[in-house]
Structure 1
């Protein structure tokens, strides 16, 4: 893999993270919590729903082309769902699911 591709991926990922993190951090002092209703619960679940949708859209062509990617993809989805259920955060489950996918892929390659 080219170094420029890796650097570009890190740059885009870092900027994407800052676009999501900084508005929440800068307005954290101004936010006054209100009673959560149905809309609050729906808004809280948008993060995990968007990550799952992106995973399905990005992994479906790969799984169709190479059936060996099905098990690592399912492992990634399972880790994402379980870790989101436990932490209610989107950052840690996303990272854990990527690591689980990588470990499952590597483990299957050694079999």
Structure 2
């Protein structure tokens, strides 16, 4: 493995960690306001945005080489979006969308 790739992975990992940790740390002494501003809304949507970005980046090469993966990927993405919209949590939608992708992949592989 090239040292450039290793350094880039470490750099991206550290920045990602700080991007998630610092907003929580800076607001540790503050009470939660009843009216959230645009920054609060932005920070609340980072979770789903990062999961969607990871989904696109990780599945794009797979879908481009194997077109059978497109429909299960779209089903997983739809389940992720709908379940996040309903629950406003990120944990349950990620697990549910992974399950939906696996079931869709298995179902369409049989056909």
Distance in 2 (CA, whole Å) between partners of 1:31 and 1:69 is 46
CA shift, 1:31, in A, is: 5.5
In structure 2, the partner of 1:95 is 95
User: Could you list the per-position Cα deviations for residues 56-90 of structure 1 after superposition, in whole angstroms to 9, with x for gaps in the alignment?
Assistant: 00000000000000000000000000000000000
Q: Secondary structure at the match of 1:45?
A: helix
Q: 2:39 maps to what in 1? A: 39
Distance in structure 2 (CA, Å) of the matches to 1:42 and 1:48: 11
Counterpart position of 1:85: 85
Q: Give TM-score scaled by structure 2 length.
A: 0.72
Question: Who is 2:105 aligned against?
Answer: 105
Query: Aligned residue pairs: how many?
Result: 89
Partner of 2:71: 71
Structure 1-normalised TM-score? 0.72
Between the aligned partners of 2:29 and 2:96, the Cα distance in structure 1 is 31
Structure 1: runs of 5+ lacking an equivalent: 1-19
Distance in 2, Cα, partners of 1:89 & 1:74? 20
Question: 4+ residue runs of structure 1 moved beyond 3 angstroms?
Answer: none
Deviations 1:38-60 (A, max 9, x none): 11001000000000000000000
User: How far 1:30 moved relative to its partner?
Assistant: 5.7
